[in-house]
Amino acid sequence: MKLFVGLGNPGSKYAGNRHNVGFMAVERIAAHQGFGPWRNRFHGLAADGVLDGEKVLLLKPQTYYNEAGQSVGEAVRFLKLGVGELVVFHDEIDLAPGKLRVKTGGGHAGNNGLRSIISHLSADFARVRIGVGHPGDKDKVAGYVLRDFPRADAPWLETMLDGIAAASARLASGDTERFQTDVAQRLSDLAKSDKDSETRQAPEGPPRRPSGKPSAGGKRPASSGAAKAKAGPPSQQALARKSARGPQPKSKPVRPASAPDPGTSGKEDGEEAPTPTALADRLKRWLAGRGSES
């Protein structure tokens, strides 16, 4: 038989305190593992059940935290248990919130509940140390552990308590290493889930800007080819007007003022095709000559 003891203070006033996480642990085991109802026994509340074939008694001392040894000592002696069958769940300020460790034996490290149990029995029992963090100043420890867990701690606290309850059979069989591993795995899965959630909620990068400069209306200007294609072929009337005008001379290139006009450059025929202007000048001179002969 095993005796699982949770440390805490009785009454609803203390129910949510960090100091009562031991009570929370054994209550979660009872709820998840189908233990019997809580009854007044050994100056505390006790519930019994079976974990993996091992009979287990859960105990919540009602003597207040600092006098837990009175209740625990009475239960151990009545049930004729060895100290090796005792497991105590308690808050641990020397562990960060969300951390859990199991150890057997050792001192009380200033924990008055452990101090009381050791004084009634011995130090050779197993302890499930549930990290709640340290306030940073030893003078603030009492007020810190007697305050409720903040809402921000609810995810890891609920996950840890569920992990403790689910793995409690390993603790009953003495496999403390597997017990720790199972609880740690649940907490690791929670951390991974939180990280994935943050990644999904992260804002996307700025939208990519188009390579071309948009027009004032926000649309790209259509290319000349596209505009022509959209305009369609010329009408029959436009083709008739173009035919009546005849071939149009190419526009005369703009030259610097110092450059001579190609039409008056004085080059001989064959060297360069005369321009319409040069031809007109020659025709005027020829007509003038004909007039003088008559």
Chain centroid to CA 276: 81
Q: Give burial (CB, 10 Å; 0-12/13-18/19+) of 19.
A: buried
Task: Check: CB of residue 47 under 8 Å from CB of residue 37.
Answer: yes
Question: What gap in Å lies between CA 61 and CA 22, rounded to an integer?
Answer: 10
Give the Å distances, CA to CA, from 114 to 68, 89, 138. 8, 10, 18
Positions marked catalytic: 19
Q: What is the distance between the alpha carbons of residues 132 and 63, in angstroms, rounded to a whole number? A: 22
CB 53 within 8 A of CB 38: no
The CB-side HSE value for 172 (13 A sphere, CA atoms) comes to 24
**Three-state SS across 134-198?**
CCCCHHHHHHHHCCECCHHHHHHHHHHHHHHHHCHHHHHCCCHHHHHHHHHHHHHHHHHHHHHHH
Distance (Å, whole) CA 2 – CA 168: 11
Helices (H), the chain: 21-33, 68-79, 112-120, 141-145, 154-166, 168-172, 176-201, 224-231, 236-245, 276-293
